[in-house]
């Protein structure tokens, strides 16, 4: 195992030690959608159950192991050159610019940058971005999968369709349904903005479509005839809940096609959190389920940056969530419902898609697993029922929706999975993105306005700004820039190439110990347009 040994010491000094000691072990649970069965993880979403404790490597061994390697390897050979580092960081980057001149209907979004850096192999994070075509607005979301990537993949493909359908007026739904009925071409609903690596499942697309169609048929039937304004908040909540419900149902019903049958089960038994933003003019809605986060970058009048959180993490650090869980279950379970900051002692996020192990009754779980394919039956993890499992469901996909009316000082929105937030403080995130964007676009203009400034002073100031700018020149993508900082920041808050190169040269099986998958979307707002709305 080509582990750069030098690495461990600075890291361990930087308080990683406790993490490794606390949780590092080989956990024998097969990932639902990936072939590698042994994955060491430092911060698993699931803590190993006592039953598997015997699989854990003793701490001493670990220590000796690293000690031993110390004399055996030459660390220099693992250094990546800056271009190599860049090619790793940029492999998944994607930028979308809203077309500059689309008539008078100028968008409040300038565009977005997104990127992801895997730690799991394959990566369990997903991202999506799309423009609603039949209603106004743009959807952006990050999805953090656990116990495999099946659920996050499915949610990233499907959720926006559910949201878009929930937002559609009655007539449009009717039109679409009629078109399906008579075999005419359908109205397009979403314009996706995808990186080539972001794939959609071809095999399940028919199944997914049928579920979606059932949804809109119900919406049509439910319509009372009065044209009411569609409430975005309600639409988001309905869409989340409906999709989770469909995931659950599809797994219960199964599919005659064995591949699909296995797929819907993997989707249901794995889990995913979701953080989705819907931007329409100055109306920004954030729907969050789980512990990804949406952060608004606000530029104060003096040019400094401050962070406004637009979502609440649904985990043990959130008092209200603890409260909610306790209320939803009998008093007798008050102690067991959250243990070691985890749901039933197992799951870190308190809300998520999929994860039927925390939703279905024990009977249902057993029935589905028994009738399911062998792969499912052989899997220790799926068979295992959480402890103290008395009053399911313990988990919901219902999002918490935050509304924010955009102001000219709101310059950008960062959506990111917890992989980012656990390595960087939100304030630093906003500052780094803010400085990056202003550097790129001179958005923070200097004005002389009334002050006494000489040509020489101004010249000095401008030269300084320009040199600052050239340092961010390396990245053309704000998300990439942020990942570079998240992974490579040293004590002084500046990117240390050596550190960056070491972190990125970690072998697949080790990477997960030092970081989680990171997925970031940075949405840039058009202050001019936002300002015009205000007037």
Partner 1 sequence: MADYSNKLYYQLEQETGIQTGYTRTGSIFLAQTQDRLISLKRINAGLNVIGIPSEIISPKKVAELHHLLNVHDLVGAMHVPEDAVVSSADVALALASAASQNGVQIYDRTSVLHVMVKKGQVTGVETDKGQIECQYFVNCAGQWAYELGLSNEEPVSIPLHACEHFYLLTRPLETPLQSSTPTIVDADGRIYIRNWQGGILSGGFEKNPKPIFTEGKNQLEIQNLQEDWDHFEPLLSSLLRRMPELETLEIMKLVNCPETFTPDMRCIMGESPAVQGYFVLAGMNSAGLSFGGGAGKYLAEWMVHGYPSENVWELDLKRFGALQSSRTFLRHRVMEVMPLMYDLKVPRWDFQTGRQLRTSPLYDRLDAQGARWMEKHGFERPKYFVPPDKDLLALEQSKTFYKPDWFDIVESEVKCCKEAVCVIDMSSFTKFEITSTGDQALEVLQYLFSNDLDVPVGHIVHTGMLNEGGGYENDCSIARLNKRSFFMISPTDQQVHCWAWLKKHMPKDSNLLLEDVTWKYTALNLIGPRAVDVLSELSYAPMTPDHFPSLFCKEMSVGYANGIRVMSMTHTGEPGFMLYIPIEYALHVYNEVMSVGQKYGIRNAGYYALRSLRIEKFFAFWGQDINNLTTPLECGRESRVKLEKGMDFIGRDALLQQKQNGVYKRLTMSILDDHDSDLDLWPWWGEPIYRNGQYVGKTTSSAYSYSLERHVCLGFVHNFSEDTGEEQVVTADFINRGEYEIDIAGYRFQAKAKLYPVASLFTQKRRKDDMELSDLHGK
Residues that bind partner 1 (CB under 8 A): 101, 104, 106, 442, 445-448, 452-456, 458-459, 461-463, 465-466, 528-529, 532
Q: Closest by alpha carbon to 89, among 421, 477, 413, 429?
A: 477
- What does the DSSP 8-state code read for residue 186? P
CA distance 400 to 294: 12
Q: Quick one: 107 or 273, whose CB is closer to partner 1?
A: 107
Judged by beta carbon, residue 50 or residue 103, the one nearer partner 1 is: 103
| Residue 194: count of CB within 10 angstroms of its CB | 16
Rounded Cα distance, 341 and 92, in Å: 33
Tokens of 332: 């007798």
- Alpha-carbon distance 93 to 278, whole Å? 21
Residue with Cβ nearer partner 1 (390 or 528): 528
Q: How far is the CB of 412 from partner 1 (least distance, A)?
A: 18
Least distance (Å) between residue 111 CB and partner 1: 16
DSSP 76: G
- Residues 93-122 as b or e (16 or more Cβ within 10 Å = b): bbbbebeeeeeeeebbbbbbbbbbbbbbbb
In whole angstroms, the minimum distance from the beta carbon of 532 to partner 1 comes to: 6
Cβ neighbours of residue 19 under 8 Å, at least 6 residues apart? 42, 43
C-alpha span between 236 and 162 (Å, rounded): 8
Q: How far is the CB of 464 from partner 1 (least distance, A)?
A: 10
CB atoms within 10 A of CB 74: 9
Nearer to partner 1, 334 or 461 (CB): 461
Nearer to partner 1, 71 or 451 (CB): 451
Closest separation in Å from C-beta 23 to partner 1: 48
Q: 128 or 526: whose CB is closer to partner 1?
A: 526
Complex with partner 1: residue 13 or 452, whichever CB lies closer: 452
**Within its chain, how far is the Cα of 488 from the centroid?**
20
Toward partner 1, which CB reaches closer, 187 or 532?
532
Radius of gyration of the chain (CA): 24
Structural tokens at position 346: 């197992």
Q: Are 152 and 272 in contact (CB under 8 A)?
A: yes
What is the distance between the alpha carbons of residues 319 and 323, in angstroms, rounded to a whole number?
A: 6
Q: Looking at residue 264, what DSSP letter applies? A: H
Q: How far is the CB of 453 from partner 1 (least distance, A)?
A: 5
Minimum Å gap between C-beta 424 and partner 1 is: 28
For the record, the structure tokens of 202 come out as 């071809």
- Residue number, 74 or 454, with CB nearest to partner 1: 454
Q: How far is the CB of 527 from partner 1 (least distance, A)?
A: 10
CB of 359 to partner 1, least distance (A): 49
Structure tokens belonging to residue 164: 């878009």
Q: Which is nearer to partner 1, 18 or 535 (CB)?
A: 535
Q: What is the DSSP string of 281-340?
A: TTEEEEEEESS-EEEEEEE-TTS-EEEEE-S---STT-HHHHHHHHHHS-GGGTTTSEET
CA angle, 297 then 301 then 306, to 5°: 30
Q: Rounded to the nearest whole angstrom, what is the least distance from the CB of residue 465 to partner 1 in the complex?
A: 6
């Amino acid at each position: 195992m080509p582990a750069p040994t030098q690495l461990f010491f600075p890291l361990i000094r930087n308080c990683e030690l406790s993490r490794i000691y606390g949780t590092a072990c080989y956990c024998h649970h097969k990932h639902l959608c990936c072939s590698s069965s042994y994955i060491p993880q430092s911060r698993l979403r699931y803590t190993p159950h006592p039953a598997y404790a015997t699989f854990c490597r003793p701490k001493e061994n670990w220590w000796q192991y690293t000690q031993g390697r110390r004399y055996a390897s030459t660390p220099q050979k693992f250094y990546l050159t800056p271009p190599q580092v860049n090619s790793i960081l940029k492999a998944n980057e994607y930028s979308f610019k809203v077309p500059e001149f689309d008539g008078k209907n100028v968008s409040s979004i300038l565009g977005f940058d997104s990127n992801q850096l895997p730690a799991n192999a394959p990566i369990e994070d997903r991202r999506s971005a799309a423009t609603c075509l039949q209603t106004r607005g743009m959807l952006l979301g990050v999805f953090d999968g656990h116990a495999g990537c099946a659920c996050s993949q499915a949610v990233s493909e499907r959720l926006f369709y559910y949201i878009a359908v929930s937002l559609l007026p009655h007539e449009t739904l009717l039109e679409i349904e009629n078109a399906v009925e008579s075999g005419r071409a359908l109205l397009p609903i979403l314009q996706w903005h995808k990186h080539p690596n972001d794939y959609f499942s071809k095999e399940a697309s028919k199944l997914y479509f049928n579920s979606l169609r059932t949804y809109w048929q119900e919406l049509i039937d439910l319509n009372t005839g009065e044209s009411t304004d569609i409430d975005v908040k309600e639409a988001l909540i309905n869409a989340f809940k409906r999709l989770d419900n469909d995931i659950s149902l599809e797994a219960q019903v199964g599919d005659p096609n064995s591949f699909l049958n296995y797929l819907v089960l993997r989707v249901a038994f794995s889990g995913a959190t979701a953080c989705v933003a819907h931007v329409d003019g100055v109306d920004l809605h954030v729907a969050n389920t789980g512990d990804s986060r949406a952060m608004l970058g606000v530029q104060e009048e003096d040019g400094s940056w401050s962070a406004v959180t637009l979502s609440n993490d649904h985990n043990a650090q959130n008092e209200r969530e603890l409260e909610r869980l306790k209320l939803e279950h009998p008093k007798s379970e008050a102690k067991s419902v959250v243990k070691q900051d985890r749901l039933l002692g197992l799951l870190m996020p308190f809300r998520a898609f999929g994860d039927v192990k925390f939703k279905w009754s024990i009977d249902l779980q057993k029935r589905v697993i028994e009738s399911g394919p062998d792969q499912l039956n052989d899997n220790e993890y799926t068979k295992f029922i959480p402890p103290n499992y008395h009053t399911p469901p313990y988990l919901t996909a219902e999002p918490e929706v935050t509304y924010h009316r955009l102001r000219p000082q709101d310059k950008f929105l960062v959506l990111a999975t917890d992989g980012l937030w656990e390595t960087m403080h939100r304030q630093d995130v906003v500052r780094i993105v803010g400085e990056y964007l202003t550097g790129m676009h001179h958005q923070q203009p200097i004005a002389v306005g009334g002050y006494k400034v000489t040509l020489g002073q101004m010249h000095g100031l401008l030269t300084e700004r320009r040199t600052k700018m050239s340092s961010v020149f390396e990245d053309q993508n704000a998300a990439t820039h942020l990942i570079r900082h998240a992974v490579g920041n040293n004590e002084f808050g500046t990117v240390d190439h050596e550190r960056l190169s070491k972190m990125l040269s970690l072998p697949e099986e080790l990477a997960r110990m030092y970081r989680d998958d990171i997925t970031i979307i940075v949405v840039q707002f058009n202050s001019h347009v936002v300002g015009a709305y205000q007037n």
